Chain A
Amino acid sequence: MAYTISEKILMAHAGKKDISPGEFIEANVDVALGNDITAPIAIAEFKKAGFTKVFNKNKIVLVPDHFAPAKDLKSANQCKILANFAKEQGIKNYFEIGCMGIEHALLPELGLVLPGDLVIGADSHTCTYGALGCYSTGVGSTDLARAFVDGKIWLKVPASVKFIYTGKLNKWAGGKDLILFTIGKIGVDGALYKSMEFAGPVIKKLGMDDRFSMSNMAIEAGARAGLIEPDEITKKYVAGFKRKSRFYKSDPDANYEKIYEWDTTKIEPQVACPHLPSNVKGVSELSDVKLDQVVIGSCTNGRISDLRIAAKILKGKKIKAGLKLIVIPATQKIYLEAVREGLAEIFVRAGGVFSTPTCGPCLGGHVGILTEGEVALATTNRNFIGRMGSPKSFVYLSNPAVAAASAIRGKIIHPEAL
């Protein structure tokens, strides 16, 4: 039998010799992740059911990042629940602010998730780690509670869909544009319950940060996972980590429910317009979208290469008077790198603010909520109605280059137009 990379990883973790899409399995997880929004429910369910000890304190990761540093009393309580549970259970992978980062940037950076792993996270963007060639999927709080008990998860094996990208990549386009383009083509349920696999010569040349951006938004097409076969770039990224990686590859004759192939040469930077990530247009199709706010950050595009791209454009420039620019490095390490490389100073001198890591405005939490009528361009992942604040505000999504250039002009523009 021939299998896709997803099927091979699931098979190995379910202890099975054969597997097929649609089948229900019980599989052992390598990592179970929760944050300050989802873990409190998981912890409550775990205790309510009468359990007292987690299955393995080393396989659980808790990151308060959504409303942290605590934005108000209620979020302080939620964060405290995580801290207390970590202490009580001896979970060392609990990350208080100061060592905290946005979970989906932090875990790969620390080598807590590796190629070949089965990762579950009570956060929909857990699919990010698929970029490393692991099967990583978002689940709910009760799933996490159950994983606390015995380290297992029930899964319906998804069919795989392959996306092949050929040709050249536009100078101003990256992983974010490839995934926005893809979601624009197939829709927000275009890969519903599927495992997406990103492949082809364009992917082979993409750096890890761009790969994370792509896998991160697989959920925005309804997918369970978004994988990239590990290669030399992956191997280099995980080389320093202690725990062993397992590098799976899809068999040449593996079964894909569908295969898409696109030439990326003509794909310009993409923008998702309100109010769905699939409402995608080429940036040059948007002529007069005036902006009140630009956000550069999130688990999609808050990594060091994203900040470097933005800083290159903003260097020596001023943002449009009256516009709010918020730059949020995704982790403390990225924050320090940005300070060391002078990027933080570029953002501040341009008229922006440079924040401590947090999910913050991406989900309308804090650090930049929109009021009625306001329009934002963000490097984040969702632009649903009211996502960043008022139900009468508007969110556009783009890559960091478009975001930085648009902050200078005060409206959405192609970086080349500067």
Chain B
Amino acid sequence: MIIKGKVHKFGDDINTDDIIAAKYLVSTDAVELGRHCMETISPDFVSKVSPGDIIVAGKNFGCGSSREHAPLAIKGCGVSAVVAKSFAAIFFRNAINIGLPFLEMGKIEQINEGDSLEIDLDSGIIKNLSQNQIYKTQAFPKFLQEIVGEGGLMSWIKSKRSG
């Protein structure tokens, strides 16, 4: 799967309260949640996102709460993938389970705000079209690729049980 989009950069330890504040957890609708994505730390973020854009962040992205509303809000506002130095564990599994594409990449400093990226999820190769650079990242382990390939955990378990 190939993803193409413009970069929005964030720092280290972006937590789930940053991604979607608790006051909005009375909704479970991705589009509604998406309207408030990153509102606390970057009030104009949502207005700057075009469908397909990519979040690039530092270490420990998605730390804090278990709220699946966080990856839902990211998807809901039109972001197509997240690239970060590292991901918090629950965010990591939520993103796998709901099918939000993401990759871990060490040297995110090389990527600038507004750069255009092309991500090949199967190979883990990220092309920076603005800088004419190529970054190699680790593709998902086989087990996780299987879940993502089925379109998320519930589709995976359905096909596993019927097969």
Query: Do A and B come together as binding partners?
Result: yes
Chain B residues with Cβ below 8 Å from A48 are 154
Given contacts A78-B26, A124-B64, contact A154 B143 (CB under 8 A): yes
The CA-CA distance from A215 to B50 in the complex, in Å, is 41
A window 37-83: CB within 8 A of B: 37-38, 40-41, 44-46, 48-50, 66-67, 72, 74-75, 77-78
CA distance A154 to B96 in the complex (A): 11
Pick from B25, B41, B86, B147: contact of A37, CB below 8 A: B25
Nearest Cβ on chain A to B69's Cβ, whole angstroms: 8
Chain B: residues with Cβ within 8 Å of the partner, total of: 41
Chain B binder among A85-93, A169-177, A332-340, A385-393 = A385-393
Given A38-B68, A142-B68, A142-B98, CB of A224 within 8 Å of CB of B26: no
A24 to B140, CA, bound (A): 12
B18 contacts chain A at the CB level, 8 A cutoff: yes
Identify which of B112-120, B123-131, B155-163 touches chain A.
Answer: B155-163
Flag if B66 contacts A40 (CB, 8 Å): no
B90: which of A50, A139, A146, A387 is its contact (CB, 8 Å)? A139
Q: Which residue of the partner chain A has the closest CB to B92? A: A193
Q: Does A364 contact B (CB under 8 A)?
A: yes
Chain B neighbourhood of A67, CB < 8 A = 25-26
Given contacts A49-B155, A145-B154, A365-B22, contact A140 B89 (CB under 8 A): no
Output the least CB separation between B33 and chain A (Å): 11
Bound-complex Cα distance A75 to B26 (A): 6
A-B interface contact total, Cβ < 8 Å: 131
Given A49-B154, A188-B60, A224-B89, is A139 in contact with B41 using a C-beta cutoff of 8 Å?
Answer: no
Q: Is the CB of A44 within 8 A of B153?
A: no
B157 lies within 8 A of A146 (CB) = yes
Give A77 to B97 CA distance when docked, in angstroms: 25
Q: How far is the CA of A179 from the CA of B147 in the complex (A)?
A: 35
Does B94 lie within 8 Å of A142, measured CB to CB? yes
Instruction: Give B60-101 as 1s and 0s: 1 = Cβ < 8 Å from A's Cβ atoms.
Output: 100111111100000000000000001011100110011000
Which residues 11-49 of B sit at the A interface, judged by CB distance below 8 A? 13, 15, 17-18, 21-23, 25-28, 40-41
Q: Is the CB of B60 within 8 A of A192?
A: yes
Other than the given A141-B66, A146-B157, 14 more pairs (CB < 8 A) read A45-B154, A66-B25, A72-B26, A139-B66, A139-B93, A142-B68, A142-B98, A142-B152, A145-B154, A146-B97, A154-B143, A219-B64, A364-B22, A387-B22
Binding site for B on A (CB under 8 A): 24, 37-38, 40-41, 44-46, 48-50, 66-67, 72, 74-75, 77-78, 121-124, 126, 138-143, 145-146, 149-150, 154, 188-189, 192-193, 219, 222, 224, 276, 363-365, 382, 384-387, 391
